[in-house]
Structure 1
Amino acid sequence: MECLKLDSSDFFVEGDAIDSPLDIHLESDSLAATKAVPDHRRYAQLHCSNAPDPPPLPGTSYGARRSSRKAKTCSRVPEEVLDSWDKLFLEGYQADLRVSIDDGTEILSHSCVLGVKSPVLRAMLEDAKLKHGFRCIRISGAPSDAVHVFIRFLYSSRFEQEQMKKHVLHLLVLSHVFSVSSMKTVCIDQLERNFLAPDNVVDILQLAGLCDAPRLSLVCTRMIVGDFKTVSLTDGWKVMRRVNPSLEQELLESLVEADTKRQERAKRIEEKKVYLQLYEAMEALIHICRDGCRTIGPRDQALKGSRAAVCKFPACKGIELLVRHFSTCSVRVPGGCANCKRMWQLLELHSRMCFTPDTCKVPLCRHFKEKMQHLGRKEETKWNLLVCKVLESRGTMGFISARTKFSTLKPDGRSHAAPRLVGPV
């Protein structure tokens, strides 16, 4: 009699940890304020039922909720206010600052607005020189249209989509250099949603590394790994290989890692299919031995050959052929018949999933139950892991206490805890 040979390295036990921290806010100020109410006031309230309740003391939760409600109500800026800021920038009314660009263009603006929005610009304004009543600073390395969009955003947080599409890379650099986090967030979002493509993703990835944009770097890396064949043919990839070989090495390692995960995922899916087939085989085996089906079944049951089309067990036909072969096979030497060995393995697997061996009609169920007591711990663990995987393939682990550990007694008198997974199929 052959037993199923299992290798523990072929199975994977996965467990997901759930971490859901609770955010608890204790209103200590309110409690302290309540305790601070004088005793004579409480005495007056008890003896004067018509007296109104005193107003809440400063620092109570009522005041905190009221202030937070006001903050939510006034959080949205009306369009009229944004229009006014836009008009202030476009008309340059009472401007006191000139921003010079590389092409000689000058943009009129207000030093107080730029200084409030950007700490870098504030430092530049403190060192700026006065010329004809205007402070003068210079922004280099970007076209004048991009600088115009950048400064307008500092006023009203507005931009035109066409201008953003044309100058989004320059705007990302400007927002990083001058520490304007709101614009940096907008640029990253626009790049992720609208402007990433295989022909520019390598350039944007390098720019994201220089501008400290980890989320954008991750999105670019995923696009490169997902469509590596197309991206590797672009000019950006060829230039990157020449000037930045370390980045190429990182991307290739990410590609290998993603491919490995993809293969592992496919392997797990295939393993689950095998375990599901074993589960269906166990169901069909019990069905044939208990109720009978088609042309085979227990002696005390009528055969159902005329109702073969209505059988709801998909593995019934295969198990029926296997049982019929097993009962008539003349090969009795060890390792001779592969079909008979498969049948032995199915019978042993059933015995480990059956919890009623005394009344079970599947052949050799009690025999294999007794055989379990003499197996080694390593062999027992392999079988238990197989049973666990078969039950998990149909989501039955939640209804069956399949992970319960039972204490067994060794022939030498020593006891040890071995996982014995038992349950109905």
Structure 2
Amino acid sequence: MECIEFDSFLDEDAIDSPLGVHLESDSLAGTKAVPDRRQYAQFQCSNAPDPPPLPGTSYGARRSSLKAKACSRVREEILDSWDKLFLEGYQADLRVSADDGTDILSHSCVLGVKSPVLRAMLEEAKLKHGFRCIRISGAPSEAVRVFIRFLYSSRFEQEQMNIHVLHLLVLSHVFSVSSLKTVCINQLERNFLAPENVVDVLQLAELCDAPRLCLVCTRMIIKDFKTISLTDGWKVMRRVNPSLEQELLESLVEADTRRQERAKRMEEKKVYRQLYEAMEALIHICRDGCRTIGPRDQALKGNGAAVCKFPACKGIELLVRHFSTCRVRVPGGCANCKRMWQLLELHSRMCFTPDTCKVPLCRHFKEKMQHLGRKEETTWNLLVCKVLESRGTMGFISERRKLSTPKPGGSSHVEARRLVGPV
């Protein structure tokens, strides 16, 4: 069993007056000098301020406001009535024609209120056999029917929505029906997007001014670019819309760059965390000892302490043993010894109690700091900051130093080969 040699290293104002009631002289005109007690009580009650509300009044008002909000919601019976009004066409005064010649009976007042574009069309519509006539082109008649029904009752059949969702998105954009546009975007995000059609949906979303849908499609393309770039939609888009292809490729490069930078930051953070754990293990070995290595003035626990709570303890122990026996210690000679020197110097820069610290050469490196150049000093300071930030604390190591028993005396300039010696 071996150990490390440390012997040579180491006023308020209160307002209590009641509120006075000031009476004007005119109000006392014609009264007696000493009024009757009953009259005075009546007079005082008539001029007294209103009493505060009883407990629970504000709560009752809040409950009434909640009831008003609940009552403001549209009941199912009302929606059924609007749905029935459209389906039966009772007293309809408008004919909406589709591309296939189908006429859809509706009410001009309902369509005009729901869509400003339809209102402008109705103002210019001509009467024919007692009906106003307008035409909605570019969509199948079933899609137009679903669109007009939504204007009445905000209802739709899911099967019809799945079939005509793209046409309904276009209609909602053209006729400025924001509620239907929101529904179509949600339906596309949840039920419709696939690698085969995401490029087409992206182009349609750009035409219909749907930025959220554009973002969702772009993320999907970047995530599965290898598969989507082989689809027919991508090939058509390259031919008819090369600018969009360029934007997607730039987004792909930017996302890949961010991914690489994130991975690099995570790897750097991992290295700094390992350095922090190495500092903790070094302090643990030099102060308390672990397994078969530790301070000379303290008995070791031996193999019974095989389980150590410091994850880097075993590696630091092997490094210290190599450092104590290695004969190649010149700069650039042994890589392990060079690493040990760097760990000792890093510890000295993170240590706040060099006079009582039990880690070898701590005060020696503290004195060496005063003779370093500005560039080297800046590099070390940056490394210390990164290591401390990896655990989000600046005083953890100094607090651990306070737990150790201070031992005075000893020179700080000691040869490295005397770090470890026989028991």
Q: Give TM-score scaled by structure 1 length.
A: 0.79
- Residue matched to 1:26: none
Offset of residue 397 of structure 1: 4.5
Deviation string 1:32-71 (CA, Å, 9 cap, x unpaired) is: xxxxxxx98xx99993289672899xxxx99x97996565
- Alignment partners' CA distance in 2, 1:271 and 1:143: 58
| 1:99 maps to 2:119 | no
Amino acid at match of 2:255: A
| 1:328 maps to 2:330 | no
Taking structure 1 as reference, are residues 250 and 68 closer, same or farther at Cα in structure 2, changes over 3 Å only?
Answer: farther
Deviation string 1:348-395 (CA, Å, 9 cap, x unpaired) is: 111111111111010000011112222233322222221122122223
Which residue of 106, 123, 126 corresponds with 1:126?
123
Kept after mapping to 1: 8 A contact 2:350/2:384 = yes
Kept after mapping to 1: 8 A contact 2:110/2:151 = yes
- Alignment partners' CA distance in 2, 1:376 and 1:171: 70
- Alignment partners' CA distance in 2, 1:238 and 1:265: 32
Which residue of 351, 355, 366 corresponds with 2:352?
355
- Residue matched to 2:75: 78
- Residue matched to 2:175: 178
- Residue matched to 2:223: 226
Q: How many residues of Structure 1 are paired with residues of Structure 2 in the alignment?
A: 359
- Alignment partners' CA distance in 2, 1:347 and 1:376: 19
- Residue matched to 2:421: none
Q: Give TM-score scaled by structure 2 length.
A: 0.79
- When the two chains are superposed, the root-mean-square deviation of aligned CA atoms in Å is 2.9
- Residue matched to 2:8: none
| 1:285 maps to 2:285 | no
Offset of residue 80 of structure 1: 0.2
Deviation string 1:134-174 (CA, Å, 9 cap, x unpaired) is: 00000000000000000000000000110000000000000
Which residue of 173, 191, 194 corresponds with 1:194?
191
- Residue matched to 1:209: 206
- Alignment partners' CA distance in 1, 2:64 and 2:214: 40
Offset of residue 252 of structure 1: 0.5
Taking structure 1 as reference, are residues 306 and 400 closer, same or farther at Cα in structure 2, changes over 3 Å only?
Answer: closer
Kept after mapping to 2: 8 A contact 1:92/1:108 = yes
- Residue matched to 1:249: 246
Offset of residue 101 of structure 1: 0.6
Kept after mapping to 2: 8 A contact 1:117/1:154 = yes
Flag the structure with more relative contact order, 1 or 2, with Cα contacts below 8 A and sequence separation at least 6. Answer: 2
- Alignment partners' CA distance in 2, 1:395 and 1:246: 45
Amino acid at match of 2:162: K
Matches for 1:288-299 after TM superposition, within 5 Å: 288-299=285-296
- Alignment partners' CA distance in 2, 1:165 and 1:174: 15
Taking structure 1 as reference, are residues 293 and 374 closer, same or farther at Cα in structure 2, changes over 3 Å only?
Answer: same
Matches for 1:234-383 after TM superposition, within 5 Å: 234-383=231-380
Taking structure 1 as reference, are residues 106 and 398 closer, same or farther at Cα in structure 2, changes over 3 Å only?
Answer: farther
Offset of residue 123 of structure 1: 0.3
- Alignment partners' CA distance in 1, 2:337 and 2:171: 74
Deviation string 1:395-422 (CA, Å, 9 cap, x unpaired) is: 3258789xxxxxxxxxxxxxxxxxxxxx
Provide the identity percentage. 91
Offset of residue 310 of structure 1: 2.1
- Alignment partners' CA distance in 2, 1:315 and 1:110: 79
Kept after mapping to 2: 8 A contact 1:45/1:51 = no
- Return the index of the structure with the highest Cα Rg: 2
- Residue matched to 1:416: none
Kept after mapping to 1: 8 A contact 2:319/2:340 = yes
| 3-state SS of paired residue (1:332) | coil
- Alignment partners' CA distance in 2, 1:46 and 1:168: 75
Amino acid at match of 1:304: K
- Alignment partners' CA distance in 1, 2:65 and 2:176: 29
- Residue matched to 1:108: 105
- Residue matched to 1:13: none
Amino acid at match of 2:299: A
- Alignment partners' CA distance in 2, 1:307 and 1:118: 82
- Alignment partners' CA distance in 1, 2:351 and 2:44: 75
| 3-state SS of paired residue (1:310) | coil
